[in-house]
């Protein structure tokens, strides 16, 4: 009997809430185990953005955040 056939209602809820798989390649995922124990908040209403910068631009940004005591560049967004 495959583990896929053993999927529980709780696993279904996890998959609907998080958009992640509870079982991957026949193994129960660590993210499901943590979710089950409520150690991790998987529901995030956030969007990741990425930008590519030169080393010089990065240094200038780092100097700026250091000067104005900004904890992360993300705080500027």
pLDDT tens readout for residues 19-31: 999 999 999 999 9
CA dihedral sign of residues 54, 56, 62, 67? negative
- What is the C-alpha separation between 30 and 32, in angstroms, rounded? 5
pLDDT tens readout for residues 3-16: 656 889 999 999 99
Higher pLDDT residue, 75 or 33? 33
Q: Taking the domains of the chain in order of start, what are their residue ranges?
A: 1-44, 47-77
b or e along 43-61 (b: 16 or more beta carbons within 10 Å of the residue's beta carbon)? eeeeeeeeeeeeeeeeeee
pLDDT tens readout for residues 30-72: 999 988 887 656 566 667 778 899 999 989 988 988 898 887 7
Question: What pLDDT does residue 76 have?
Answer: 64
């Amino acid at each position: 009997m495959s583990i896929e056939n053993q999927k529980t209602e709780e696993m279904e809820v996890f998959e609907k809430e998080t958009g992640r798989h509870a079982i991957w390649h026949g193994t129960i995922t660590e993210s499901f185990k943590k979710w089950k124990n409520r150690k991790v908040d998987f529901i995030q209403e956030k969007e990741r953005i990425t930008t590519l910068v030169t080393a010089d631009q990065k240094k200038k940004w780092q100097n700026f955040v250091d000067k104005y005591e900004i904890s992360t560049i993300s705080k500027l967004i």
